[in-house]
Amino acid sequence: MRKLILFLLFGIANSFYLSAQKINAAYQLHIKKASSEILIDGAIDEQAWEDAEIATDFFMITPMDTSFARVRTDVRMTYDDENLYLLVENFLAVEGPYMVESLRRDFSFGKNDNFLLFMDPFDDQTNGFSFGANAAGAQWDGIMYNGGSVDLSWDNKWRSKVTNYDDKWVFEAAIPFKSIRYKKGITEWGINFSRLDLKTTEKSGWAPVPRQFPSASLAYTGSLIWDQAPPQTGANISVIPYALGGIKKDISGNGDTEYRREVGLDAKIGLTSSLNLDLTVNPDFSQVEVDRQVTNLDRFELFFPERRQFFLENGDLFASFGYETIRPFFSRRIGLNAPIQFGARLSGKINKDWRIGAMNMQTGEVEEDGLPSQNFTVFALQRQVGARSNITGMFINKQSLNYNPDPDAEQPIYSQFNRNAGLEYNLASSNNLWTGKAMFMKSFAPNQVGDGFVHAANLKYSSGNLTWNWEHQYVSKNYTAEVGYVPRNGFYKINQEASYLFFPKSEKILNHGPKVGVRYFFNTDGEKTDNTTFLAYNIKWRSQSTFQAWVSTDYVLLQRPFDPTNYSGDTLARGTEHQWYATGAEFTSKPQSVFTYAFTTRLGGYYADGKRYNVTADIGYRFQPYVSIALSANYNSIHLPEPWYNTNFWLVGPRVDVTMTNTLFFTAFVQYNEQIENINLNTRFQWRFKPASDIFLVYTDNYLPAPFYTKNRSVVLKFTYWWNL
């Protein structure tokens, strides 16, 4: 507790340091109202662009951050009563074709020549929006949180066009004011522009960003200075209805064919220019991309990120609370086993210092499982302190409705309620060198014995060469988060990591250096249960290829029986001790090639004095910009004494992305998972016939590998339309 108090005092003092002075305050782009009508065609032939101020002379971020960029980029911005306009001239420094994956939306940043806009409409250096495109015209948009992270699952309504010339490619965009959130009357926004040119392997930014941080870092934005306050959007109401038809057949179970005929509705209501109310009735998420499967050899539940659009805007208010394995709220718990009937979500800025997030969701009952209808309520209130830090309070409630469990049952199947309440302090210094957080959370449940309590903290320092992180966590035995992701209870964790990078004067190697880490787990009696210590060495070439080699030692004292194959059903006994050594390597090829590859290896000991060998490989080839082919393969060979003996698992996932235009997409993804004895085929056709309005055709099959036969099959046709009132 003493360390926590010192951490908080240090963090608060540091977060206020230089809070009055923005680091890149001298970088200003003045924007004035358009002097002519603008047509989004990728051409610079309107008077408005001739009159607009130009942001140029970008600074290099990588491979070095001490000089101007070699590639020239010119940016102009203007606006009218409806839209914010952007025009970018991306000049070429080296002859040859541009490098892109495909025309797929929300492309991989490092594999495409691209331009991105990072926008902080509240100038709080914490939250914002990102828009951009690659050199073939594929769009990128996302919502920004935590001062520099971008969630690309967020989509909104805007228009853009890319035109290629001999010496440059031009990106022109119109972003409706109704598609973003901003505070009334503010005439200065945080803004930065990022350019990645793969032929020169150069990443650059208009306002300079140190190379240890992403170009999206809002701590280093310049300023967009408006000639007058941005226009108010007036009534900002969007209605997004959907209709679908589908067929589902359980072939292996000889089940009846199920027919789906459903309609539903989402609505977005802008209560203010910075506060939004989202409503949903009978939502459907059948078009969401399937999760990428992994071979599970872990003792705990795996985490898969949220992809459903309704939960994403300002989702960091809920999802960022806690740590990677201590998440009091995890939206994928809602609607996991029961249909969502309706829901509402209020989120956004109250003013520059306060943000709010409130959500209520209602699910229906599932009679065959005895699952009652349930109501989920989440409330978060965040206050910014100092330059970029904040304090957040959160309350979570899961309530079963009309549920009367058997009074004679020792343990009810479902709980009457589960509640969590707590506080979190997030530290982000003015220059982003110091980051961290400290959290406290308490759970409440009808049958909870003892205090369900969590506290955790970490402090991280990131300079150009040295990175250091200290972290500790405590989760009590009785803590429960039924709407969260907390796979492990009853432990203390201490984790420390440090790394150092050398930047040699070399034409081939960008940086290299060691990384060391040690992690301990103790049970609540103070007994050591887990320990991992590792040493790694990293090399990054100027071509952006990377290599890492590592060695580690592991110790585990099992707290419950565990099957080391997660397959056979035979388990190691609780209380048994296991220790082993392992080594491995990882390599990723340069992203600018049309043929890319990566591999990882791991060999060494395993539970019960066994051995485990692992190889993964990722291979990709693109016929740019229309077709991208990828193959992922993961092989595990586990050698154990009886009763397990030798166990081998393959996980293979070929994928094809066909992007006929930047509005017409087809994806086919096959996953063969030997551990769960399943082959999954998922194909998705998408036609974006208008901005944010789509037709989806999704076909899914699941097969048993041996003997090969179809287990179940489904097909869904879905229509969505974004209608602004």
Average pLDDT over residues 573-583: 97
Higher pLDDT, 12 or 266: 266
DSSP assignment of 146-205 equals: TTTEEETT-----EEEEEE-SSEEEEEEEEEGGGS---TT--EEEEEEEEEETTTTEEEE
CA-closest candidate to residue 554, choices 520, 514, 509: 520
pLDDT digits (tens, 9 = 90+) for 683-723: 999 999 998 899 999 999 999 998 899 999 999 999 999 99
* CB within 8 Å of 448: residues ≥ 6 apart: 478, 480
Count of C-beta atoms within a 10 Å radius of residue 610:
19
CA pair distance 41, 347, nearest whole angstrom:
34
User: What element of type H or E holds 376?
Assistant: strand 374-385
The conformation of residue 298, written as its DSSP 8-state character, comes to S
Q: 713 in helix, strand or coil? A: strand
> Checking phi first, is residue 73 left (phi over 0); if not, alpha (psi -120 to 50) or beta?
beta
The CATH number corresponding to 32-226 among 3.40.47.10, 1.10.4190.10, 3.40.640.10, 2.60.40.1190 equals 2.60.40.1190
Residue-level pLDDT at 58: 97
CB of 179 closer than 8 Å to CB of 158: yes
Q: What is the mean pLDDT of the chain?
A: 91
DSSP assignment of 539-605 equals: EEETTS-EEEEEEEEEEEE-SS-B-TTSSS---BPTT-EEEEEEEEEEEE--TTSSEEEEEEEEEEE
CA pair distance 186, 128, nearest whole angstrom:
14
Residue 619 has pLDDT above 60, yes or no: yes
CA-closest candidate to residue 429, choices 4, 149, 10, 64: 10
Residue-level pLDDT at 270: 87
Amino acid at 348: G
CA pair distance 646, 471, nearest whole angstrom:
37
pLDDT digits (tens, 9 = 90+) for 443-465: 999 877 778 999 999 999 999 89
pLDDT digits (tens, 9 = 90+) for 418-430: 999 999 999 999 8
* CB within 8 Å of 234: residues ≥ 6 apart: none
pLDDT digits (tens, 9 = 90+) for 164-194: 999 999 999 999 998 898 888 889 999 999 9
Residue 392 has pLDDT above 70, yes or no: yes
CA-closest candidate to residue 461, choices 11, 5, 19, 29: 11
Residue-level pLDDT at 410: 64
Q: Which of 294-308, 327-341, 597-611 has the highest mean pLDDT?
A: 597-611
